[in-house]
Amino acid sequence: MDSVPRINGERLWASLMAMARIGATPAGGCNRQALTDADRKARDLFCRWCEEAGLAVEIDEMGCIYARRPGREDHLPAVAMGSHLDTQPTGGRFDGPLGVLAALEVVRTLNDADITTRRPLVVVNWTNEEGCRFAPAMLASGVFAGVFDRDWAYARTDADGRRFGDELARIGYRGRLPCRARDWRCHLELHIEQGPVLEREGKVIGVVTGAQGTRWYDLVLRGRASHAGTTPMELRRDALAGAAEAMLALERRARATPGAVATVGTLTVPRGARNIVPGEVRLSVDLRHPEETTADALEQAFAEELAAIAHRRGLDHAFERIWAFAALRFDEVCIEAVRQAAAAEGLPWREMVSGAGHDSCYVARVVPTAMIFVPCREGLSHNEAEWCEPEHCAAGAQVLLRAALSMAES
């Protein structure tokens, strides 16, 4: 092996498992939603680890944490390595933390080897990547990239009506630094694939060339609440039965569109009861495809069928797109650095497009960016059983170190 230092896989694993204890769920996953007390504890632990590693820690106005390591030529644009510490309500232990803690492991390894890179390095924790508590996802990286305005982000509310800006202040992470694009040389993110491809093909590294487009919608169906015992079937305006038909139409259309995925992840019947014919239903829709024109056609076709279902059932409906980011390709120089790093490690790798959204998808708009994937068991994620083998975590961190080093010496 050449002079590149080896990361300490045991130390990385220990950090991952210590972080996973914060917001741990009985089923073995994590519930560490953005800006909760669990998120604050995770942030506090991460900041302590960064300070112990000699990094200078800064917090911006969206709560993003930037932990900086000086370079030999410290004025040069930095190499950033980041991901997120917030999780889904039934999240796993690797989605997000693997990227943040592998970046910290890169720093710890360089400290042990007494190596100072030419460019400075920055380890980043992006606030609210998941978007489950405060929609949309990738909120802070979106502000960083100029996609969202800070005050619009501050005004986002959770299901209990709590404002993002207030919760960020409450946990003590509403920094003063502006959250806006920085002139970094690049941003690299290690992440579990969250899909089955690498495992199925026996590959250890995914050289991620880009991501598919994602769209989120709110769908409301309104009929008429009425008595479950006295309302004849033919007189009902049942919003939930209409929602059921709409969901099956969405599933049918997505299955019929190669490469498309569509999900109704949440459905609520406000003030519903067992013996009331549902008068109103609210659903979330997540629709994704690698090609924007195909996603447009699928969206249009579903909207038309939805209108026909609502009309036939005497329902009113509102189908509103609340968020979207288009399919994108990452930076060629960064992709090549990841490709070379995987090859230099002698690891089986393949190029691939990310099915999931990541902070890198927004950061890529303002900073040259690429991602590294490692397999997760059965491709399972956003599930408490999410698992990544220790040797795959270590392999991913080693490739991250190599890619970061090559960019930092460029």
Q: Which positions lie near ligand HGY, rule CB under 6 A?
A: 129-131, 137, 356-357
Q: Which is nearer to ligand HGY, 60 or 129 (CB)?
A: 129
Q: How far is the CB of 2 from ligand HGY (least distance, A)?
A: 35
Site residues for Mn ion, 86-115, by CB under 5 A, read: 95-96
Give residues with Cβ within 8 angstroms of 283, minimum separation 6: 218, 219, 220, 221, 243, 246, 247, 264, 266, 267
Integer Cα distance of 379 and 368 in angstroms? 27
Which listed option, Mn ion, ligand HGY, none, makes contact with residue 60 (CB within 5 to 8 Å by class)? none
Instruction: With both helix axes pointing from N to C terminus, report the angle between 97-112 and 390-408 in degrees, rounded to the nearest 10.
Output: 60
Which listed option, Mn ion, ligand HGY, none, makes contact with residue 96 (CB within 5 to 8 Å by class)? Mn ion
Q: How far is the CB of 83 from Mn ion (least distance, A)?
A: 7
Q: How far is the CB of 196 from ligand HGY (least distance, A)?
A: 16
For residue 12, the Cα-to-chain-centroid distance in whole angstroms is 21
Which listed option, Mn ion, ligand HGY, none, makes contact with residue 137 (CB within 5 to 8 Å by class)? ligand HGY
Which listed option, ligand HGY, Mn ion, none, makes contact with residue 395 (CB within 5 to 8 Å by class)? none
Q: Which is nearer to Mn ion, 137 or 366 (CB)?
A: 137
Which listed option, Mn ion, ligand HGY, none, makes contact with residue 357 (CB within 5 to 8 Å by class)? ligand HGY
By three-state DSSP, how is residue 320 classified? strand
**Buried-exposed string 99-137: b where 16+ CB fall within 10 A, e elsewhere:** bbbbbbbbbbbbbeeeebbebbbbbbbbbbbbbbbbbbb
Q: Which is nearer to ligand HGY, 5 or 131 (CB)?
A: 131
Q: How far is the CB of 355 from ligand HGY (least distance, A)?
A: 7
Number of residues that bind Mn ion (CB under 5 A): 2
What are the φ/ψ torsions at residue 210 (nearest 5 degrees)? Answer: 170, -165
- Give the CA diameter of the chain: 80
Supply 191's token pair. Answer: 């992440």
Q: How far is the CB of 183 from ligand HGY (least distance, A)?
A: 26
What are the φ/ψ torsions at residue 194 (nearest 5 degrees)? Answer: 65, 20
Q: Which is nearer to Mn ion, 60 or 95 (CB)?
A: 95
Integer Cα distance of 96 and 306 in angstroms? 35
Which listed option, ligand HGY, Mn ion, none, makes contact with residue 401 (CB within 5 to 8 Å by class)? none
Q: How far is the CB of 381 from ligand HGY (least distance, A)?
A: 7
Supply 31's token pair. Answer: 């519930």
Integer Cα distance of 283 and 268 in angstroms? 7
Q: Which is nearer to ligand HGY, 131 or 165 (CB)?
A: 131
Q: Which is nearer to Mn ion, 5 or 357 (CB)?
A: 357
Residue 82 within binding range of Mn ion, rule CB under 5 A: no
Q: Which is nearer to Mn ion, 29 or 223 (CB)?
A: 29
Q: What is the CA radius of gyration of the chain?
A: 23
Tokens 């644009």 belong to residue: 77
Q: Which is nearer to Mn ion, 126 or 154 (CB)?
A: 126
Residue 39 within binding range of Mn ion, rule CB under 5 A: no
Q: How far is the CB of 129 from ligand HGY (least distance, A)?
A: 6
Q: How far is the CB of 186 from Mn ion (least distance, A)?
A: 19
By three-state DSSP, how is residue 267 classified? strand
Q: Which residues pair with 186 in a beta bridge?
A: 79
Integer Cα distance of 280 and 268 in angstroms? 9
Q: Which positions touch Mn ion (CB under 5 A)?
A: 95-96
